[in-house]
């Protein structure tokens, strides 16, 4: 597997060179990396027992409402929509790379979800009848849902690779070029986006070496 990672890395670098691309601080280095979602301090979800790095919590009030014909129709009102995210990274076995701003990337979805329905407390019958007559609504309860990007799932990220002063690599949205986060493999993404073939992709360790070499060459 390590050998093939090196082969893919060389092919990607060759494509970049032949395409006339040059690495500089003005031109983002767009790469593709696959790995396992990891986090030192994940979010503990309230429902389902999952631990995630991005959690979208929503709450909606469900009700029945009479239409113009007097028939009951279902409806809802959104009460809460809150997204929480903690620092996380991809680990491919050769190294790790931080991912920043994943929720704003194309292709991003929440692979897991869980929730519960909290039924409204019923008043006595005459009071409920009065409420229904005044509002033409019958409250059913509140649906609470958590959509999660859990730890341990395999993920592929295409975006700009940046290395800071302490050697930490992060992938973020570039000023120009694709920013994509998906549960699909890099090969599947390349197959469906032919124009991405010119971008470098490979193992994290290869990416670290590439960035180090280019930073050193710029300083010389």
pLDDT band (50, 70, 90) for residue 12: very low
pLDDT of residue 133 exceeding 80, the answer is: no
Integer-rounded Cα radius of gyration of the chain? 24
Tell me the C-alpha distance between 72 and 55, whole Å: 34
Task: Give the residue numbers spanning the domain of 150.
Answer: 2-219
Is a pLDDT exceeding 80 seen at residue 102? yes
How many domains does the chain contain in total? 1
Cα dihedral 5→11→15→17 (10° resolution): 90
Q: What is the pTM of this model?
A: 0.72
What local confidence, expressed as pLDDT, does residue 68 receive?
A: 78
- As a whole number, the mean pLDDT across the chain is 77
Question: Does an H or E element contain 212, and which?
Answer: helix 204-219
- 124 neighbors 41 (Cβ within 8 angstroms): no
Q: Is pLDDT of 109 > 70?
A: yes
For the purposes of burial, counting CB atoms within 10 Å of the CB of 159, is it exposed (0-12), middle (13-18) or buried (19 or more)?
buried
């Amino acid at each position: 597997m390590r050998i093939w990672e090196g082969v893919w890395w060389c092919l990607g670098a060759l494509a970049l060179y032949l395409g006339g691309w040059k690495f500089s601080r003005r031109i983002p280095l767009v790469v593709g990396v696959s790995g396992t979602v990891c986090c030192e301090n994940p979010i503990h979800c309230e429902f389902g027992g999952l631990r995630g790095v991005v959690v979208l919590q929503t709450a909606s009030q469900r009700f029945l409402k009479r239409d113009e014909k007097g028939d009951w129709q279902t409806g809802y009102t959104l009460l809460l929509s809150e997204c929480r995210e903690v620092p996380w990274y991809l680990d491919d076995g050769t190294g790790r790379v931080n991912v920043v701003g994943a929720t704003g990337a194309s292709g991003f979805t929440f692979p897991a979800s869980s929730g519960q329905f909290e039924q409204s407390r019923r008043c006595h019958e005459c009071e409920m009848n009065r409420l229904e007559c005044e509002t033409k609504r019958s409250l059913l309860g509140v649906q609470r849902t958590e959509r999660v990007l859990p730890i341990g799932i395999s993920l592929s990220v295409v975006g700009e690779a940046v290395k800071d002063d302490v050697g930490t690599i992060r992938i973020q949205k570039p000023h120009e070029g694709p920013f994509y986060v998906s549960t699909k493999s890099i090969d599947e993404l390349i197959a469906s986006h032919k124009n991405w073939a010119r971008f470098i992709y490979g193992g994290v360790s290869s990416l670290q070496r590439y960035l180090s070499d280019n930073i050193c060459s710029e300083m010389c």
